[in-house]
Amino acid sequence: MASAAMQETTLSARRGALSSEDDDGRDDSKTKKPSRLTMDILAHLRRFSISAPCLAVALPLLLVFIIAVAVLSRSRPHAEILVTPLDSLPLVPLLPGNGLEGLAPNFGSLGVPLCRSKHGKMVEWTSKDLLKGLEEFVPVYETRPIKNNIYGMGFDHSFGLWFMARWLKPDLMIESGAFKGHSTWVLRQAMPETRIISLSPRHPEKYLRKGPAYVDANCTYFAGKDFVDFGSVDWVSVLKKHGVADPSRVLAFFDDHQNELKRVKQALKAGFRNLIFEDNYDTGTGDHYSLRQICDQTYITGGGHSCFKDSDEAKIRLKRKKFWKKAVDIDDLCGAGEAWWGVKGYMRDNFNHSNKQISDDEHVQNGRFIESVLDLYWELPPVAGPSLTHQTRYDPARSTDPIIEDGKFGLFQRLGLTRFETAVFNGYTQMVFLRVSVSTIS
C-alpha cells in the first residue's frame, strides 16, 4: 500500500545491529542463551530445596530438551527462530531476583480497563494488517528528519499514527500539538497530498534554529503568534476554506496534554468523528485527564482499584514498580479518602497547571458520557514485547498484547526493528483511536 511518494527523497543510512551495550540487556526471548535460562531454573530448584538425586534426573532431561530445540531450529533455516515461551515453564515461578517477573507472562494481572462502545463495533484492520504495515513503515521511519525526538513520539506511536491515517484516508488532517514537527512529518508520509492543519503554541520553525525540525509546505499553521486553541477555532469557516464539506471525513490528532473529555466534547461540537489521542495515560499517571482514566470504572472489566494496603493489588503494584518506570504503587495511585480515579482523584488539565478535584460520582458520569457517544475505541498495542524492545517505561500488565509477542525475535529481526536504538521503544502511552457520534453539547 505504501508508495515511493510517502518517503522523503533522501534516505538516511541504515543503522547497524544492536551494539554490545544493547546486547548486555536481558533478552529471554532468544534461544541463543540456554545457559542463562538453565541457571535461572537451577536457582529456583535450589530455592525449593530439590534434592541432589532429583537434580541428577532433571538436569539430563533439561539438556536433552535444549539440544532438541537447537537441532529443530537448525533444520528449519527459513522459519522463525524456535523459542520456548516463558509461560511454558510452569515449574519455574516468577519470583523476585530471577529477572523474569517483570515481563509479559504477568499480562493482565492488574486488569486493563475497557472503554465500551455503544454497539460493540471493532476496527476494520487486523493483526495481519498491522504486521504488514510494520514491514512497510520501518524504512519510512528510518528517513525521519528528527532522529532524536526526545519528549516527542517514539516508534510505537509514530507507527500507529501513520498506519491509522493511511487506513482512514481522511480529506483533512488536524493536529493539536506539533512540537518540533515529527507528527506532522508522520502524517505527511501517510497521506502525501492531504492538507494538514497544525495548532501549536510554538511554531516548529523555531526549533530549526537549534537543530532538526520539520515544517510542512502543504500545512496551515495556527502556531506561534497565530496560535488558536483547538476549542476556539471557527471550524465551519476553516473547513469551508479548505474545501471540506463533510467534517466526519476529518481526522483530528491530539498531542497537546489537555483534558481529553474536554477535547472529545469540542470535537463533537465541530462534527469530527475520527479522533486519535497520543498520550492516553493510565490511571494514576500523566498530566491530564485521559480516556484511559475516564474509562477506568468499577462497573467494567478491568476497571476500578483497591486502596487497601494489604490487598493483592497493592502487593502486585509494589512488586512491579521495581521493574517499570511508569508503574504506580498504592501510594502513587490513591489520594484522600481512597480516591483512585484520574490522578489521586484529580482531573488534570492545561499541562498540569489546572487540577480539579472530582468525586467518584462525577468520574462515573464522565465515563457514562463517553460511553454514550462512543462508536469505537481501539488502543494501539505495543509494537513488540518488552524482552524484544528492552523497554522499561510502561507496565505490560496494564497494556494490551503486543503486535509482536515476546519470543518472536525472528520476526522482530526480519522486520528490521533491531536496527533501531532501544530508546525509540520507550515512549508508549496507550495511543487510542476513537470514533464518536455527533452530538449536541449543552
- 299-320: per-residue pLDDT in tens? 888 899 999 999 989 999 999 9
Q: How far apart are the first and last CA of the chain?
A: 42
Instruction: Work out the average pLDDT over 178-205.
Output: 96
Sort 167 into a burial class: Cβ within 10 Å, 0-12 / 13-18 / 19+: middle
Instruction: Work out the average pLDDT over 25-40.
Output: 36
Q: Do residues 249 and 171 lie in contact, with contact meaning Cβ atoms separated by under 8 Å?
A: yes
Instruction: Work out the average pLDDT over 393-401.
Output: 90
Name the least confident of 8-22, 52-66, 354-368. Answer: 8-22
Residue 429 pLDDT greater than 90, yes or no: yes
Closest CA to 162 of 179, 142, 147, 141: 141
**Distances from the Cα of 239 to the Cαs of 195, 219, 228, 272, in angstroms?**
11, 14, 15, 11
pLDDT given for residue 381 in this prediction: 96
Torsion angle (degrees, nearest 10) of CA 138, 144, 150, 155: -20
pLDDT given for residue 107 in this prediction: 42
Average pLDDT over the chain, rounded to whole? 80
Give the separation between CA 124 and CA 274, rounded to whole angstroms: 14
pLDDT given for residue 294 in this prediction: 97
Q: Confidence class of residue 22 from pLDDT cuts 50, 70 and 90?
A: very low
**Distances from the Cα of 270 to the Cαs of 133, 178, 317, 412, in angstroms?**
31, 21, 41, 41
Give the separation between CA 410 and CA 49, rounded to whole angstroms: 37
The half-sphere exposure of 335 on its side-chain side, counting CA atoms within 13 A, is 16
Please enumerate in sequence order all residues whose Cβ is within 8 A of that of 378, keeping only pairs 6 or more positions apart, or say none. 122, 123, 432, 433
Domains of the chain: 27-101 (no CATH), 127-436 (3.40.50)
Q: Do residues 185 and 1 lie in contact, with contact meaning Cβ atoms separated by under 8 Å?
A: no
Residue 98 pLDDT greater than 90, yes or no: no
- 114-137: per-residue pLDDT in tens? 889 988 889 999 999 999 999 999
C-alpha cell at 214: 520539520
Q: Confidence class of residue 102 from pLDDT cuts 50, 70 and 90?
A: very low
Cα angle 367, 373, 374; round to 5: 80
pLDDT given for residue 61 in this prediction: 58
pLDDT given for residue 111 in this prediction: 83
pLDDT given for residue 300 in this prediction: 87
Give the separation between CA 178 and CA 207, rounded to whole angstroms: 11
pLDDT given for residue 205 in this prediction: 93
pLDDT given for residue 45 in this prediction: 38
Q: Do residues 249 and 174 lie in contact, with contact meaning Cβ atoms separated by under 8 Å?
A: no
**Distances from the Cα of 171 to the Cαs of 191, 243, 247, 319, in angstroms?**
10, 9, 9, 47
- Phi and psi torsions of 327, nearest 5°: -70, 145
Give the separation between CA 274 and CA 376, rounded to whole angstroms: 9
Helix (H, G, I), strand (E, B) or coil at 120: coil
> When comparing pLDDT for 423 and 58, which is higher?
423
Closest CA to 176 of 196, 162, 205, 156: 196
